[in-house]
Homo-oligomer: A and B are copies of this chain.
Amino acid sequence: MPDEPTPPVDAQPLPPELERELITFWVQVSSLLGYPRSVGEIFGLIFISPAPLSADDIVEKLNMSRSGAGQGLKALQDIGAIKPAHQLASRKEHYQMQTDLGVLIKLLLNARILPKLEELAQQRATLDATVRAQGPAHLIQRFDKLDRWRGKTAPLLALLKSLS
């Protein structure tokens, strides 16, 4: 037996325009981090919702496919932006935002940006060694420059990691 529509928790729902703006804000954040619009919309909706939401709630509210909602929820769970919240009356899984935003930002950075940065740093080191071993003078000079740049940005990376 499918669930009945749940009654609103809030007496006073958000003005639709504010709702839209808040969701748009999170769409932009997710886009900055390289996630598709749908993921940002789902997170935005969960962010503004007073109660945990099921995948079907999201499908209904955002007019998206069931499988799109499922994949988006999975992505958000993977990075720890949302977490499951068992609703006693229902068999469906419900989700609410991860309220520990320290965890959230850490996971966002770890999931997307830090790994890439570290992979690139590793590759740079390898190329550096190769070029210094066998490369022409002009390239060695350019890697010298990269080294200096690395020195400048090292504190930034350290700070990023310290958030994690």
Query: A residues touching B (Cβ–Cβ < 8 Å)?
Result: 10, 12, 14-15, 18, 21-22, 25, 28-29, 32, 47-48, 50, 97, 99, 101-102, 104-105, 113, 116-117, 119-120, 123-124, 127, 130-131, 134-136, 138-139, 142, 145-146, 148-149, 152-153, 155-156, 159-160, 163
Which of the residues B28, B116, B139, B163 comes within 8 Å of A120, measured between beta carbons?
B28
Could you tell me if B25 and A138 are in contact, using CB atoms closer than 8 angstroms?
Answer: no
Given A28-B120, A32-B116, A105-B153, check contact A138 B50 (CB 8 Å): yes
From residue A137, how far is it (CB to closest CB) to chain B in Å? 9
A18 to B133, CA, bound (A): 12
